[in-house]
Each structure stands twice: as C-alpha cells, then as structure tokens.
Amino acid sequence: MSHRVGGVVWTVVTATLLGVPAGLLVGLLLSQEQLDGLSQTPGAIVEPARITEFDERTGVAATLTWTEGPTLYAPAWSGTVGNVHLRPGDALRTGDPIAVIDGVTRLTVAGPQPFYRSLALDARGPDVTWLHRALTALGYLEKVPDDESHVSRTTIAAVRALAADLGSSGPVEAFDPGWFVWLPEGPFEVASVQLTAGAQAPSHGANVAAGAPRLDSVALLRLDGGPLKPEPGVAYVLAIDGEELPLDPETGAVRQEDLGRLSAALTPLLDSASGSVRRAESLAVWSLPSSAIMSGSNGRLCIWADSGGRYEAVAVEVVSGRAGVTFIRPAATSARVLYNPADILAEPACPSA
C-alpha cells in the first residue's frame, strides 16, 4: 500500500474513533489533492499579431445653428392674381414664372439689385446695364450692347418682344419693373409661397415667397460630450442623415461650402442631430488583447515580440480600444506577440529608452 493510501486508511480509522463520518474526510482529502494539481505556473501565450482595418469611427452629436432663408418681395404690382406658378421645393432661376397678374406673367430675374423704375428710350444708368444683361439671359438680345448703360432703339425692340410673350397688351414704350421679381441669388430654394390665385396682388415690398432656412454652423462633439480630436492632416468624413461630407483636414469642421448640402438633408431648424465621423481611408492596425500592452516609467508603451525564444520590447502607439481589445499602429507587417507578459516576464515594464 502506498504512503498516500496508507494515510487515507489511518485517517478513516481516526475519524471512526472520533465519531466523524469517514466519507466526509476522505472527500476533503481527495479534493485537496486535485486543487494541488492545478497550482501550476501559467504558460506563455504567443500569437501572431492580427492586422485589421480600422476607420476610427466615432459617434458624434452635432449642434446646428441656422439663419433665416432669403425672401422674394413684390415689386409695384396692382391687379388680381391669376395662376400661381410657385410651389414649395422649386429652385428658381432667371426666367422662371412666378404668377400671372392681370393677365401678365411675372418672371424671376437675378441681378445686383431690384429694378425700381420704368426705362424708356435714351434712359441711362446702372439699372439699364442690369436690364441689358437680363434681356440677354432671357434670349431677347444676342449680347449686351457696347453702350450698356444706354436704352437704345434695339433695347426697346427687345422690351416689346418680351412684353408680348408675357401677355402685356397695348403699345409698349418702356420697360415695366413690375414684370420682374428680383432674385437675390440663384437658384432660390422655395420653402413657402404667399401668393393666392384670385386674391389682390400683394402690395409693394410684401413677402411673395420665403427661401428655406440655412445652416450657419455645425459644432461636433463625441456622444460622451468630449471634444472630437481628429488627427491633424488626416482626411475624415462626417456621416449624418444619409449625407457624407468631408471635414476640413486642418480644423476637423464641416467646410463652409458643404453646409448647403447638409441643410438640404436635415429637417429645417433642427437644433441637433447625431451621426458619426470616420477616417476617409481606413488605417491598417494591429488588434491585440489589452493584456499584451505594457507601459514604462516614462509612459512609453510597448509589446513584447517573440524573437527566437526571447522576448524583445517593441514601442507602439495606441490608436484606440474597446472591450478588452487595443488597436495599435504596427511596427512591422507581422510579428508573434506575447499576450500575457505580466505572467511570464520578471520585468514586463517597457524599457525607458
């Protein structure tokens, strides 16, 4: 009989003499024997570093600031409104009809300023130049005359052709500024219309149509409230409400020229919206368990790479991490990494130099 078995037997005998159930003590002894067998030194876990594509995607909250849209104002009109051609959602440009008033169609015309007076033969002024440019854009003149600030007989002939197409009756001796509604810019995105068929024409200066409000600025923060810190010089993309916009690589902000696109995608006057920011081009990184990343006294980070049975510290830069996984910039295209240096190495801290 072995020493172990003998010990068990003498234990059973002693337990019997003391009145303790022998089966209980035998079970305790055998359990202890099994636990002793489990207390072993952990082995090294060495695995190839996994290279993965990382786009640094971050959820963001966008705070939106809006400005009121532009407005179309009525010129000096009188009479009754007939057909109204304007509809919300229209994009108005020079030559688009607004409405018919007393049988005469009124057009939108972009220019530096609204027309404010009738222009007859031999009239002069900057508004004559605007008229020549409008008549050229509408196809009634082949080109702007050399003396562009003077109303000539050629100008009056073009004005009469325009008046006939608009539906104006009777002799026409001068341009009527009531034919044109000034567009402050083109295209003009119509959000609402204040013209009603059958009603009296709105008075001079009344609101005819309002443009859609526009984004003035977009401030981006991470969803946890922290600042967004894109890497300088790296191209990032903002995805929000189905629209993807490049961010300025220097400031990390939405570029001014892209605010119009974002305005069209968002609900007007919305205070905030959520989206995400990611790298325009994914970054190839190593994906390692966080236990594989060590630090040194100077804050330097490293991993321990297997080099022929020895472990060498390799400096790394952490890009991001989540749920026990850390993404680092690789020091090489491939390597075998010690996953549990704290369990294996006598001094797992990174060297200071």
Region of poorest pLDDT, from 124-133, 155-164, 312-321: 312-321
Q: Which of 35-39, 51-55, 300-304 has the lowest mean pLDDT?
A: 35-39
pLDDT at 26 over 80: no
pLDDT at position 2 is 40
Statement: residue 69 has pLDDT above 90: no
Q: Which is more confidently placed, 246 or 23?
A: 246
Percent of the chain with pLDDT over 90: 63
Residue, of 299 and 160, whose pLDDT is higher: 160
User: 3-state secondary structure string, the chain?
Assistant: CCHHHHHHHHHHHHHHHHCCCHHHHHHHHHHHHHHHHHCCCCCCCEEECEEEEECCCEEEEEEEEEECCCEEECCCCCCEEEEECCCCCCEECCCCEEEEECCEEEEEEECCCCCCCCEECCCECHHHHHHHHHHHHCCCCCCCCCCCCECCHHHHHHHHHHHHHHCCCCCCCEECHHHEEEECCCCEEEEEECCCCCCECCCCCCEEEEECCEEEEEEEEECCCCECCCCCCCCEEEEECCEEEEECCCCCCECHHHHHHHHHHCCCCCCEEEEEEEECCCEEEEEEEHHHCEECCCCCEEEEEEECCEEEEEECEEEEEECCEEEEECCCCCCEEECCHHHHCCCCCCCCC
Please report which confidence band the pLDDT of residue 324 belongs to, taking 50, 70 and 90 as the band edges.
Answer: confident
Output the six-digit token pair for 98: 């607004």
Give 326 or 34, the one with higher predicted confidence. Answer: 326
pLDDT tens digits, one per residue of 326-342: 999 876 667 899 999 99
- Give the pLDDT of residue 6: 40
